[in-house]
Every structure is written in C-alpha cells, then in structure tokens.
C-alpha cells in the first residue's frame, strides 16, 4: 500500500512513510471490509462517515511539517486512523469527533495500539479545543465552506492548518488548502483537489445544508 499509493504519488517525508507502514489500516474498518483496507480508496466506517484514502492521510500529515514534539489538533477524528498516524509524528494529539459512536470505537482502537499521546473528545470540532490551544498544527478531516476562524485563532505563530474547502457534492470540487500563520496574517497555499465528508458545526456546514 505505502509503496504503490503513498510513495509513488510523491510523499517524501520518511517519518510519514514509516508511520504509514507501522499502523495497520485494517483495524480501523469493519471486519467485512478488511480485505479492502490496503487499497487506495476511502471506506465507510458508519454514521455516514469514512476513512480517508491512504495517500490523502499521508499527504495531509506531510503538509503539517511535523518534527516530533508538536501539539496537534485533529478535527474529525472518525475512525482514528489519522490520529494513529499523527501519534507517531508529534508529541501530543488532541482529536475531536462530533459523533459519540465513532469516538467510542476510536478510543478502543487507540488503546489497543497503545497510542498514549492521543486525547480524544466528543465536541463541535469547528470551535477547536480552546483550553488546549495554541497548537503547532491543525488537521481538519472534513470539508468546510470556509476556514473556521476559531481554528485559525488557535494556531501558534508559524503554525500550519491543513483543511479541505468546498461543498463536496458529486459535481463539486474541494480544494485541500494549507494556512500558515505569519504574525497577524496567514499564508494560503493550494495543495491538491480532494473529496471529504462535510464538516458539520457552528463554523462549518449546518445539518442538512450540504444537500440543499
């Protein structure tokens, strides 16, 4: 999987590649889908959510430019696959998932894999985790109509926010973007086209709005 879908698509960060090799992706999907876990496709995890393609997980992880000791906020914990990858790349991971059913499964898997530097909570991820801020990096694993201002405010100077922007219907294009905090402003960078489930919350999409 890593050779065929991660390295071949241009991911070069050796730490990211090693993390992708170490984390067993089949543990994060339903048993019936385990045989598809090492292909380069998103897979359903229940409640209308999905686990991202391996390449996308690696690409977003690489875009955070992590060295090993950072505090990272993850919005949209989902299956916890991205959480497990990040746990091998940074010092502390603070992951938010809005659905209790997914959070319960995620905590169990992270415990099994001994990812002791990941703190998981159920909340509105568009509002961030203010009492744990500021963060060196923020990764958002769902598409937003615009960048949540609350997340930008929780970045350290020099911090990186990676987020997909766009509606995400069948005929809509989403753009994977990186925002780098530079004093009182932000450097905006386009990374790739992508496809994610919608980011539901106070500063994201509202329930039902995505299909309107």
> Which residues are catalytic, by number?
52
Q: Give 3-state DSSP helix, strand, coil % of the chain, rounded to 5.
A: 35, 30, 35
In order of 25, 30, 93, 204, the CA distances from 119 in angstroms are 20, 23, 6, 23
Query: What kind and span of H or E run contains 190?
Result: strand 185-194
- The Cα 61–Cα 55 span in angstroms is 10
Q: Are 115 and 94 in contact (CB under 8 A)?
A: no
For residue 74, the cross-strand partners are 95, 139
Q: Could you tell me which residues come within 8 angstroms of residue 192 by beta carbon, excluding any fewer than 6 positions away?
A: 59, 175, 176
- The Cα 13–Cα 32 span in angstroms is 32
CB atoms within 10 A of CB 18: 13
- The Cα 88–Cα 97 span in angstroms is 20
Q: Are 86 and 139 in contact (CB under 8 A)?
A: yes
Please tell me what DSSP assigns to residue 152: H
């Amino acid at each position: 999987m890593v050779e065929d879908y991660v390295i071949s698509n241009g991911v070069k960060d050796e730490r990211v590649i090693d993390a992708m090799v170490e984390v067993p992706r089949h543990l994060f999907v339903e048993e019936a889908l385990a045989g598809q876990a090492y292909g380069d496709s998103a897979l359903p995890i229940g409640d209308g959510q999905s686990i991202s393609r391996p390449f996308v997980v690696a690409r977003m992880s690489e875009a955070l430019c992590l060295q090993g000791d950072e505090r990272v906020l993850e919005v949209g914990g989902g299956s916890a696959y991205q959480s497990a990858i990040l746990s091998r790349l940074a010092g502390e991971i603070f992951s938010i998932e809005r659905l209790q059913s997914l959070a319960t499964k995620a905590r169990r898997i992270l415990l099994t894999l001994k990812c002791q530097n990941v703190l998981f909570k159920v909340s509105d991820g568009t509002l961030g985790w203010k009492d744990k801020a500021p963060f060196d990096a923020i990764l958002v694993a769902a598409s937003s109509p615009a960048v949540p201002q609350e997340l930008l405010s929780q970045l350290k100077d020099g911090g990186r926010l990676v987020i997909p922007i766009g509606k995400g219907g069948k005929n809509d294009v989403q753009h994977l973007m990186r925002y780098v905090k530079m004093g009182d402003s932000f450097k905006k960078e386009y990374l790739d086209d992508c496809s994610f489930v919608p980011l539901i919350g106070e500063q994201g999409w509202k329930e039902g709005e995505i299909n309107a």
